[in-house]
Amino acid sequence: MQNLYIGVMSGTSMDGVDIALVDISNGKITAIASDCYPMPNEIKTRLLTLCNSKQTTLQDLGELDHQLGIIYAKSINQFLKQNNIDNKQVKAIGCHGQTIYHSPNGDNPFTMQIGDANIIAAQTGITTIADFRRKDMAYGGQGAPLVPAFHKAIFLNSAINCVVLNIGGISNISVLIPDQPVIGYDTGPGNVLLDGWINKSLGTSYDKDGLWAKSGKVNQNLLSALCNEDYFQLPAPKSTGRELFNLAWLMQKLTDFALNGQDIQATLVEFTAITIANEIDKLPIKNNLPCQLLVCGGGAKNPLIMQQLSALLPKWQVSATDKKGVNSDDMEAIAFAWLAYCRMNNIPSNIPEVTGASQSVCLGVIYQ
């Protein structure tokens, strides 16, 4: 008998709503179906404006929270219909929500994801789990990243030094080295600056296959200026987002440079790759074991980023998670289905060594 859960994720890039249907039975995690539903342009524009300006009104914030709840619910219902799944077959939905601000290091740390889970539960008829990050923060953690626990469940191998790299808007790693505590943190930008710059320059949402970046050349002086950011000197646990790495941050860095657009894009690809590689080079790997870097998220589809990672990390076999049977586009949605399973079964699902929390806790709030 199947034990079905749905995971829902809309990440930093805000390009769509990723949905995965997962069977979690007898200790096995099996992805059954997945799809992505476009984020309405008007909502994406409002979200980006909110995140980039850091200004809003209570009216706008409340309306966006409501509208996102409806978008998630409609996407889930469409997904169920397309896959001939009755809502009564699904134990729970795990919905991450849309992060609009993440501030784990101030005097009053907080993180905010919107997308009203009451609406999701009401309109789908399925128990919904949301607000996954704040319980970890209540115990002193960063509230991020949360997927290393899932990566541990599916990829830990006693014969391999394994790092799972998610390149979404922000890049994060899960470090799975045998006989060592699992660690994981945000390395810095993934696609957020690449997408923002090409959108500003050409009006397109992303650089398909890295073709625009391929037509440019890396500017080493700009690369040095980009890398000169305090975040990269911080020790783990650490996490970041659009609050720091955004188009305004990039434009400030570009003030002293007169470069063509494609050279800036090429430099941003190198920036993403080198900030990831610098962190992986620091890891205390076991030299007698092979090293495997498994990449997921949108960046796994960018051949230029993958090529640069391979060049910068010659010890590591670099490949998309697809080669291990997990679609690189679906990884985070599957992870939030698993997190919903953990919450419904009262299984702690954070890793204190990753987030910095004082203890393991069950993550997520149940909406019925």
Would the CA dihedral through 12, 17, 18, 23 be positive or negative?
positive
Same domain membership, residue 66 and residue 15: yes
The pLDDT tens digits of the residues spanning 266-284 come to 999 999 999 999 999 999 9
pLDDT, tens digit (0-9, with 9 covering 90-100), for 147-186: 999 999 999 999 999 999 999 999 999 999 999 999 999 9
pLDDT of residue 59: 94
Residue 13 above 80 pLDDT? no
Which pair of tokens denotes residue 13? 């890039």
Domain that holds residue 307: 147-324
Same domain, 268 and 358: no
Residue 134 and residue 155 in one domain:
no
Per the structure, the count of domains in the chain is: 2
Q: Which residues are documented as binding site?
A: 11-18
Signed CA dihedral, 190, 352, 108, 133: sign only:
positive
Please give the Cα distance from 92 to 94 (Å, whole number).
7
pLDDT band at 51 (very low <50, low <70, confident <90, very high): confident
Mean per-residue pLDDT, 356-366? 97
Does position 12 have pLDDT exceeding 80, yes or no? Answer: no
**Rounded Cα distance, 323 and 306, in Å:** 14
**Is-contact 195 206, C-beta < 8 A?**
yes
Q: pLDDT of 128-152, one tens digit each?
A: 999 999 999 999 999 999 999 999 9
Tell me, yes or no, whether 311 and 362 share the same domain.
no
The percentage of the chain sitting over the pLDDT mark of 70, rounded to a whole number, equals: 100
Whether 168 and 294 share a structural domain: yes
If asked whether residues 170 and 130 sit together in one domain, one would say no
Same domain, 88 and 41: yes
CA distance 123 to 367: 12
Q: Are residues 358 and 319 in the same domain?
A: no
Same domain flag for 11 and 132:
yes
| Confidence grade of residue 352 (pLDDT, cut at 50, 70, 90) | very high
Same domain assignment for residues 160 and 134: no
At 282-298, the pLDDT tens digits run 999 999 999 999 999 99
Question: What distance in Å separates the CA atoms of residue 76 and residue 70, rounded to the nearest whole number?
Answer: 10
Domain identity same for 152 and 300: yes
Same domain, 340 and 354: yes
Secondary element (H or E) of residue 59:
helix 58-82
Gap between the Cα atoms of 343 and 131, Å rounded: 11
Which ranges of 83-128 would DSSP assign to H, the alpha helix? 117-124
In the chain, the amino acid numbered 105 is N
Binding residues for ATP: 11-18
Is residue 93 packed enough to be buried (19+ CB in 10 Å), middle (13-18) or exposed (0-12)? Answer: buried
How far, rounded to the nearest angstrom, does the alpha carbon of residue 300 sit from its chain's CA centroid? 12
Question: What CATH number did the domain enclosing 113 receive?
Answer: 3.30.420.40
Strand, coil or helix: what is 268? helix
Given a contact cutoff of 8 angstroms between Cβ atoms, the answer to whether 8 and 93 are in contact is yes
At 172-222, the pLDDT tens digits run 999 999 999 999 999 999 999 999 999 999 999 899 999 999 999 999 999
Using CA atoms, how far apart are residues 179 and 37, in angstroms rounded to an integer?
40
Which is nearest to 29 in space by CA: 20, 38, 19?
Answer: 20
**pTM for the structure as a whole:** 0.91
d(CA 168, CA 188): 10
Segment 99-106 shows an average pLDDT of: 91
Is 11's pLDDT higher than 80?
no
